[in-house]
Structure 1
Amino acid sequence: MTVTLYGIPNCDTVKKARTWLDQQGISYTFHDFKKAGIERDVIKGWLADVAWEILVNRKGTTWRGLSDERKATVTNADSAADLMLELPSVIKRPVLRIGTGTHVGFSAELYQHIFKK
């Protein structure tokens, strides 16, 4: 089973997710999308599993810093993907990809359920 955790290393929630995975002995690849970037196909894969409204972090500083006009252009999965490609920090973190499944955010309970531990 391929496990990839997407995020940025200094995000507290990403740190918690990485710590949990490490403590459980779960092997994963970490993808820092601020340094390594993110591709449209990856985002489209996420959007096949998760609604764009969940993937776009509308509580974060990146979203809040956008003009009202720019925010108004994000109305569907395609426009959300465009925004995430332009400003990866608007992606809610972490994004966990397991095989073909996508999960957004972190809590120990969520990960226990995902990994059936």
Structure 2
Amino acid sequence: MIIYGIPTCDTCRKARKALAGHDPQWRDIRALPLSKDEVTEIVAAFGDRAVNRSSTTWRGLGDDERALSPRDLILKHPTIMKRPVIRSDSGLHLGWGNDVQAALLP
């Protein structure tokens, strides 16, 4: 299991704490940015939902950048990705909502 996120994200911290018993690998997307292939896979799985439009990063963008595709936005501004993205044996999961918790926690 891999959790993709940033250490200052409260939701990422909650997910990491809850999943600690599963010994997940942590991937700080600022320190080790996602590859083009990884971003393409995430956007293919979640589409526009992969972009966090309520984030500080989104609010700071101009209209030209907001018009970019989700893939290009995440490649240019990794912290605009909705977090966490969790890769497990069952596939990719976005966020830490009840549906993701039910899928990943016993």
**TM above 0.5:** yes
* Corresponding residue for residue 40 of structure 2: 44
* Corresponding residue for residue 71 of structure 2: 81
Could you list the runs of 5+ residues in structure 2 that have no partner in the other structure? none
**Shift in Å, 1:10:** 1.3
Rg larger in structure: 1
Give the % identical residues: 38
Runs of 4+ in structure 1 off by over 4 angstroms are none
Distance in 1 (CA, whole Å) between partners of 2:58 and 2:80 is 6
Specify whether residues 80 and 16 from structure 1 end up closer, same or farther in structure 2 by C-alpha distance, changes over 3 A only: same
Distance in 2 (CA, whole Å) between partners of 1:105 and 1:111 is 7
- Asked if 2 retains the 8 angstrom alpha-carbon contact of 1:8 and 1:34, the reply is yes
**Shift in Å, 1:105:** 0.8
Residue number among 14, 18, 21 corresponding to 2:19 in the alignment = 21
What TM-score, normalized by structure 2, do the two folds share?
A: 0.90
Number of corresponding residues: 106
RMSD over aligned Cα, in angstroms? 1.5
Distance in 1 (CA, whole Å) between partners of 2:79 and 2:57 is 7
